[in-house]
Structure 1
Amino acid sequence: MKLLINIQFVFMITLLMSSCSQDEQLMYQDDPSVYFYKRGGGLDSVDYSFALETTDVTTDTIGLTFRIMGLARDYDRPISLMLEEGSNAKEGYHYKVENLFIPAGEYEVDASLIFFRRAGLKDSTIVGKLKVVDNSELKAGYNDVVVGAAFDRLSYRFTLTDKLSKPSIWDARWLPLFGEYSNTKLLFLTGSTGYKTWNAFVSLPQDQNQMVQNARYALYEHERDQGPLLDENGNRVVLP
């Protein structure tokens, strides 16, 4: 009987310790934290050029979405970001982030990454990599990499310039739709389709088809009214 009591005692102690450990894990998991919510197949970067805008445009805005882990609160909670090593963007000069807080009662917020057009961007490209960091209200949340993303869910990268350059995904994504790249063609496509973020691909086939149709019709009208469109190398701009 004494042996049975001792076994039951040891079992109860073990069960209690296990329960405490689980409670600690739950408390840790429920610790309020925040991370980038990456829509569109994990998009977590943007390469932005003011060269695709008219000269009167001095700012532009990119949306950033944040989500929390844990429970909503009845007051606003700030989100803290820092620039990672290797960034040369200057906060307040090249960019700023507005609406950087989780509103009371909410689990998600759409913040605004605002870019500023500066003279030095005519011949340079600025790099910034934003990272979510802890503050007194919200800790850094998930740090895994979602499918289709290049960075973990605490990071967002951007480049900023005012010069034209070939989009990094052109040959892989846009070449089958629009043919060989030129700066003139890119400007023409931007004007005829209204699309500006050429380092991000349009995934829906119907949207791709609409862009191609708009571009072809605009090129047809240009050639009908003004003759062939020549690029910066003297070659005729053509579309497949």
Structure 2
Amino acid sequence: MQSKPISFLSILLPLLALLHTGCTKEKALMYEDDPRVYFKKYNVAHDSVNYSFAVKDPAQLVDSVYLQLRIMGNARPYDREINIQLSDTSTARQGYHFVLGPQIMPAGQYETKIPVYLYRRAGLKDSTITADFIIGASKDFQPGYDDLPTVAVTNRLHYKISMDDRLVKPERWDGMLAPYFGAWSLVKLNFMIRATGRLDWTVLIYPNELSNLSQLSREAMSMYVAANGPLIDENGAVVEFP
């Protein structure tokens, strides 16, 4: 009985499968031998947080925000150290304006949140300060990858926290916010923050969200006026929303 000829594909496909398996194992070993860590970000704009004590109770002297981090490679059955450093571009002082919580990737985890405890200081009423964080090397991790744009504050090795204790006019007010909220005043912005729960008015806000925020502000103002009468701002004008 004559045997069937062996096709080229019947030889090639198993070889390709073996090659793929070998490359996958090699890549896994590479990451296992070279563990890295980076700031977890959802998009390019998610590279900073703006925090203001001005919208908090005057008695509140400390609050916290969180740095989210993720590793490259495999989880390990023991805690590992992360090294978050303060860049020379920072104006905030560690130990005075803020304190970092334990910089640890817990055992068995791929992600963690590290608290940053912010302190209300007198100087925050006069200026905005920043804590510019960068990922440094530790005994357990090297800095992770920079796959977002190369501008320092928009990649995954940098994260910025801005903090103050004052309300200021957002740069976008006249162009983006005025059509929805009317004339600017500090009293109005403070009311908007309390009515909507939104703290950051400095970033781009899309029209559908602006419409919703405007409606919340109008409804809250109607309730306020019904209970207290007109709200007067620092310029002596009645606070109103279009």
Q: Match for residue 114 of structure 2?
A: 111
Q: Match for residue 228 of structure 2?
A: 226
- 2:38 touches 2:157 (CA, 8 Å); kept in 1? yes
Higher mean Cα deviation, 126-135 or 189-198?
189-198
Q: Match for residue 30 of structure 2?
A: 27
2:217 to 206, 212, 215: 215
Q: For 1:38 and 1:237, how far apart are their aligned partners in 2?
A: 38
Q: For 1:150 and 1:174, how far apart are their aligned partners in 2?
A: 25
2:80 to 77, 82, 86: 77
> Identity over the aligned pairs, expressed in percent?
39
Q: 3-state SS of the aligned residue for 2:183?
A: coil
- Give the AA of the match of 2:88: E
1:167 to 166, 170, 173: 170
Q: Shift of the alpha carbon at 1:194?
A: 2.4
Q: 3-state SS of the aligned residue for 1:39?
A: coil
- 2:91 touches 2:129 (CA, 8 Å); kept in 1? yes
Q: Shift of the alpha carbon at 1:185?
A: 0.7
TM-aligned CA distance change 1:175 to 1:30, over 3 Å? farther
Q: 3-state SS of the aligned residue for 1:90?
A: coil
TM-aligned CA distance change 1:203 to 1:116, over 3 Å? farther
Q: For 2:172 and 2:161, how far apart are their aligned partners in 1?
A: 15
Q: 3-state SS of the aligned residue for 2:154?
A: coil
Q: For 1:71 and 1:204, how far apart are their aligned partners in 2?
A: 42
Q: For 1:202 and 1:99, how far apart are their aligned partners in 2?
A: 34
Q: For 1:172 and 1:47, how far apart are their aligned partners in 2?
A: 20
Higher mean Cα deviation, 33-42 or 137-146?
33-42
The alignment of Structure 1 onto Structure 2 pairs a total of residues equal to: 219
1:239 to 234, 238, 241: 241
Q: For 2:144 and 2:26, how far apart are their aligned partners in 1?
A: 19
Deviation sequence 1:122-180 (CA, Å, 0-9, x none): 2222121100111110110012326xx95210111122111221234444554443233
Q: 3-state SS of the aligned residue for 1:120?
A: helix
Q: For 1:85 and 1:164, how far apart are their aligned partners in 2?
A: 26
Q: For 1:34 and 1:180, how far apart are their aligned partners in 2?
A: 46
- 2:44 touches 2:155 (CA, 8 Å); kept in 1? no
- Give the AA of the match of 1:216: R
- Give the AA of the match of 1:221: M
- Give the AA of the match of 1:117: R
Q: For 2:164 and 2:176, how far apart are their aligned partners in 1?
A: 22
Q: Shift of the alpha carbon at 1:23?
A: 5.5
1:57 to 60, 72, 93: 60
Q: Aligned ranges for residues 6-17 of structure 1 at < 5 Å?
A: none
Q: Match for residue 37 of structure 1?
A: 40
Q: Shift of the alpha carbon at 1:80?
A: 0.8
| Ranges in structure 1 where 5+ consecutive residues have no aligned partner | 1-18
- Give the AA of the match of 1:125: T
Could you say what the CA RMSD is over the residues aligned between the two structures, in angstroms? 3.1
TM-aligned CA distance change 1:87 to 1:173, over 3 Å? same
1:100 to 85, 100, 103: 103
Does 1:155 find its partner at 2:161? Answer: no
| Ranges in structure 2 where 5+ consecutive residues have no aligned partner | 1-21
1:144 to 147, 166, 172: 147
- 1:50 touches 1:161 (CA, 8 Å); kept in 2? yes
Higher mean Cα deviation, 68-77 or 211-220?
211-220
Does 1:91 find its partner at 2:94? Answer: yes
